[in-house]
Structure formats: structure tokens, C-alpha cells
Chain A
Amino acid sequence: MKQRVLMKGNEAIAEAAIRAGCRFFFGYPITPQNELPEYMSRRLPEVGGTFVQAESEVSAINMVYGAAGAGARVMTSSSSPGISLKQEGISYMAGAQLPAVIVNIVRGGPGLGSIQPGQGDYFQSVKGGGHGDYRLVVLAPANLQEAVDLVTEAFDIADLYRNPVLILGDGLLGQMMEPVEFRQSTPRELPAKDWATTGLCNHNGQKNVINSLVLHAIDLEAHNIHLQEKYALIKVAEQKAELLHCDDAELVVVAYGSTARIVKTAIAQLRDQGHRVGLLRPISLWPFPEDAFAKVMPVAKDFLCVEMSAGQMVEDVKLVVNGARPVHFYGRMGGIVPTPNEIATQVLQIMGVK
């Protein structure tokens, strides 16, 4: 039989985390990501792990802070309003350089919004939803196999750079089902967690302190410079993008996550009709895949960014394209998912096809 299992997105992400060695999960219920903590509550005890339903998202992320500080592979998940609550803890973790994986199964906003899928949390994810100068590595899978693979890799990236990694999904990805296969990520050499607060007896009596408070301006600037140097390394090493039909594409559609899959269907239709259209799908939203843009620039005449938002990633596309080509935008909001036909219509309009 096949090694594949049919899983719901939220479950697949949870199982992938467990297979990546995550043994601690702290969360709080919110739709549409509930299957993730539910699965964890059932599965973690089977592998000797710990699940705690926290009293709030605020508490959950701070439990993650404590557990990550004690050297564990640890995860939390939530959906948009809950992720907003976690921002305080995320900023502290970035400041204290703690590795962990955070999952956001995005729903419609602002405020309580709806439980339908959305992509309105892009700014919050890549520009820093919490206070201070920090970056999260943000990975946006478009299908469940990729979600599984990226979650596996996310733990390594987090440990390698001592930085939180955000998996940015959306309600569709969390709720849909697809067959997945669990496989190892390419092994990376990871540093020992000799900084973890596990008690002096566990690290030769050297006192460890997990902290983000740096009172002296000179010291805090030095700490920030260190963070920025780390982010510069990540920017070079961790860009990920998929290019589809871009070799001869006059129009390149830029889309991530579920939206990119709909774009693929639209592009298949357009290609059948002979139109030279391609897809650039950022997989790492931070670092933004600038290298991939460099590859498509020689041929591309126009860019069209499609999002389930009022236009957030499009700002990064414009920064990269830097005025060299027109950057168009098409977005739907409120939980409305664009159809392949809508997208094809936009493309044809830009290409001047009647």
C-alpha cells in the first residue's frame, strides 16, 4: 500500500511537528484551527509529549517561551485574532532569541471577522506584529504535502537561527483534506542548545539566563545589530519560491498559499489558450524571495499580485520590482475565495486581450 495518509491540513501540520521532534504544545481554541490542538491533545501523550490547553493565547505563547527557553522543540497554533494576542510573546521570543514554531491558520478580519479563509495577516506576519525591530521566518505552504515538509524544516530553521518561525496558512489549508507522506527534511547541522535554562547541573554549572531586557542603549543597539546580522544571513540562505511557466512568461502572477493554487488553475486555462502567463509563488514570505524575481525580470512585462486581502504582499512585490515593471493587483476579502475565471479575466485585461 501507499505510504500516504489522508489528512486534514490542521492534523497534517500537527503530525509533521511531532515527527520533527516537537513534544510540547501549548494552545487555546479558535476556529478554524481547532483540529490542530485537538490532534495534539490526542497524539502527544502517545509519544510521551505534553499538551497544555492554556487559559489564553497570551498564556500559551508565554508557555512556549518558557519551554523554548528550556531547550524544547515546542509549537503553538492559532488563528488571526489569537495570533494578535500572541504578539507580545512573539516579540519577547524574537528578542530573547528563542526557537519555536507558531502556526497561523488565517481567517477573515479585521476584528472578529469571520471563520472563512483570508490572507489579511500578511503585514502582521512579515513586518512584525509585535513591538521592536525583529523578523520571523514566515513560510506559506500551498498544499498539505508542502505544509508537512515546511513544518518539518521550520523546526530546524528555528533551532539553527534561534528565531521563531511562523507557518502562515489559511482556513482553506487548515480545513481541506489531501493525502500526505511524512518524510525527513534535508538534515542541517544544528548548534547545541547550551544556552537553555535546564538547571546548572545540565550545563556544567554555567548560569544561563533567557532575557530580552537590555537597559543600556549601547548594549541594546549591539543586541539589535546582532539580530539584524542574523536576519541578513537568513535573507541570503532561506528564500524559497516556486516558479511555474516563468521562462517565457510575459505576465507573471504573484500569489502565495491557497490563492496560488487557484492561480495555477487559471494559468493552466490561459496556457491552453496560448497566453504566456507564469506564476511566481513566494513560499518564504520573509525572507521575501527577491532572487526569484531577478530570474523572471528579463522576460516579464507585467506583474499581477493576487491575494485574499486588500493588497498587502503587493507592497513587497512593488519594492522588489522597484518601478521597473507595472505591478497590478487583484484581491478578494471577507472570506471570499477568488475563482480561476476571475483571475483569468484580470490577466487577459492586463494583457490587452479582449
Chain B
Amino acid sequence: MNSLWHHRVSIITGSYGSGKTEVAINLSLAKRSFYGNEAIVSLIDVDIVNLYFRSRDKFEELAKRGIHVIAPAGDLRHADLPALPASISGSLHDTQQQVVLDVGGDPAGATVLGRYQADLPEGSYDMILVVNPYRPYTDNVDAMQRLISAIESKSRLRITALCNNSNLMGFTTPEDLLRGQDLLGELEVRTGLPTAFVSCVPAIAPAVSVMLPNVPVLQLGLYMLPPWATGNNYAGEV
């Protein structure tokens, strides 16, 4: 096994804007690279909350890299309709497939998982809560705990681990992840949930590894960039 996941099915959830989609895409690529070229890795976009910057937008690019993106097809790909593809259940049951579910943000986005509860018996999946304490409504441990309860209640699934995705996009420093880990440490104590990994761009990954030696690092290649961005470490302008 791998330290980033324990099960075939990884569900990526969290508050919206926490960076779930980047984490889901990069986790899919990590699975692909871990299991090799023969492995079928499906990235299921069940984000019916968000509109732009969804993993389905990178359909072709990810297909070239061996990731099978499951999302509404044709015109529906560009719609704000909650039209779920029929193949989702199949992928969840196909023991040959590695699956990553990119879930919409907040309890609202997690609600759709409740519909697949029968396909996801407890112990058959990792459900990772992506946390960015630089977002409103997840900037303290109480709020994070409330989010966990709300997502679990709506999705009717259990969160199994945490992902520290502390970031201010291109302005992120390793210290930001360290500060985030302090909060997650408190959350670990309160909930008993482990931090599965921290995620950050490659530029700061070595420094993060030094500061947080006990937590695996998922390096994020950035896919959800705005059209004016160039390069992997886009900072924006402020």
C-alpha cells in the first residue's frame, strides 16, 4: 500500500474553495504512477455545486495522462445541471479500478454522496477532508469540526482522514502549512482522525517535508489555473 491511501476508492471532500479538485486530480495521478500504466484510474467529478474550475474541464489533458474522467458528457459538461452519469456506480463496484471522487464543496456538495451510500460500505473507502484554514468558515478547529459533522450527516459516509491543504495560492509559504498543521493537530486530537497527507506545490515541498517530517507530502501540479496564468506557481496579482 501507499501512505496516501488505504483503499481503492478515495473520496475527496471539504469546504468549497479548499482545493479539493487540485488534490483529487493529483491524487489520481499519484495512483496512476503508483500502480503503473496498466491500472485503470477513474476520476469521478460529482461536483454539482461548482461551475468553473471543475476536473471535467481538464478531460482531454487528463485522458492523455491515463486518467479516465467520469463526468456529465456533451453539452451537460458545461451546464449547471445535477446530471450524474450512470457509469459512476459501475466504477465504484469494479474492483479492478482505482477511483478518486471529486466531490462538490460543503455539505451541499457532499449531499450527492448520500445517493451512493449503498455502493460505499464502511471500510471500503478513504474519505479525505481537505482543509485550508485560510478560507472563511474553516479558519478554526470548532468550524472544522462542525464541517465534519455536517458533511458526514449529508453524505451518510464517514470521513477517515484529513488533508492539510493550507494555502494562499501563489503566496503560500511553508510556514502557512505549518500553522495549518497546528490546527489539524488539534482537530486530530478531538476527532481521532489522522492527517493522511499535506499538499503543496513542488516549489515549497522540500521545505514542507523538513518542517513536517511525519506527514507525507502530495505535490500538486496545478491544473485549475485562470486563463492569464503561466507557469505552475501562479501568484495572482494583488
Contacts and interface: CB of A to CB of B under 8 A. Distances in A.
Interface in A170-214: 171-172, 175-181
A8 B228 contact: no
Contact of B132 (A6, A114, A176, A178): A6
A105 B168 CA distance: 24
A1 B17 contact: no
Given A145-B238, A171-B51, A179-B171, A339 B227 contact: yes
B135 A262 contact: no
Interface string B153-176: 000000000000001110100001
Contacts of B51: 31-32, 115, 171, 175
A340 B238 contact: no
Given A178-B236, A258-B228, A261-B237, 10 more contacts: A4-B168, A6-B135, A32-B52, A115-B78, A117-B52, A145-B238, A175-B53, A179-B238, A261-B226, A340-B227
Contacts of A172: 52, 226-227
Q: Which 5 pairs of residues, A with B, have the shortest CB-CB distance?
A: A175-B52, A261-B228, A179-B168, A262-B228, A31-B80
B52 A176 contact: yes
A129 to B, nearest CB: 24
B200 to A, nearest CB: 14
A347 to B, nearest CB: 15
Contact of A179 (B137, B169, B179, B228): B169
B214 interface: no
A302 B50 CA distance: 40
A5 B228 contact: no
Given A5-B134, A114-B78, A116-B78, A265 B228 contact: yes
Interface string B72-85: 00000011100000
Interface residues of A, number: 39
Contact of B136 (A7, A114, A261, A265): A7
A7 B17 contact: yes
A86 interface: no
Given A1-B179, A2-B168, A115-B78, A179 B230 contact: no
Nearest to B136: A5
Interface in A4-56: 4-8, 11, 15, 31-32, 35, 42
Contacts of A335: 78
Contacts of A261: 226, 228, 237
B48 to A, nearest CB: 12
16 contacts: A2-B168, A5-B136, A6-B17, A6-B135, A8-B17, A31-B51, A42-B137, A171-B51, A172-B52, A175-B52, A178-B236, A179-B168, A262-B227, A335-B78, A337-B227, A340-B230
A4 B171 contact: yes
A223 to B, nearest CB: 42
Nearest to B227: A337
A125 interface: no
Most chain-B Cβ atoms within 10 A of its Cβ — which of A5, A7, A32, A179?
Answer: A179
Contacts of A31: 51, 80
A176 B53 contact: yes
Contacts of B79: 115
In which size bucket is the chain B interface? 20 to 34
Given A31-B51, A143-B236, A179-B236, A2 B78 contact: no
Contacts, number: 93
Contacts of A135: none
B226 A180 contact: no
Interface in B29-62: 50-53
B53 A178 contact: no
A41 B134 CA distance: 21
Given A115-B80, A116-B78, A180 B52 contact: no
A73 interface: no
Nearest to A107: B51
Interface string A335-353: 1011110000000000000
B175 to A, nearest CB: 8
A335 B80 CA distance: 14
A97 B237 CA distance: 36
B52 A264 contact: no
Contacts of B171: 2, 4, 179
B227 A171 contact: no
A78 to B, nearest CB: 15
A5 B50 CA distance: 20
Contacts of B78: 114-116, 335
A183 B191 CA distance: 36
Nearest to B175: A1
Given A1-B179, A340-B230, A6 B168 contact: yes
Interface in A300-345: 335, 337-340
A180 B171 CA distance: 11
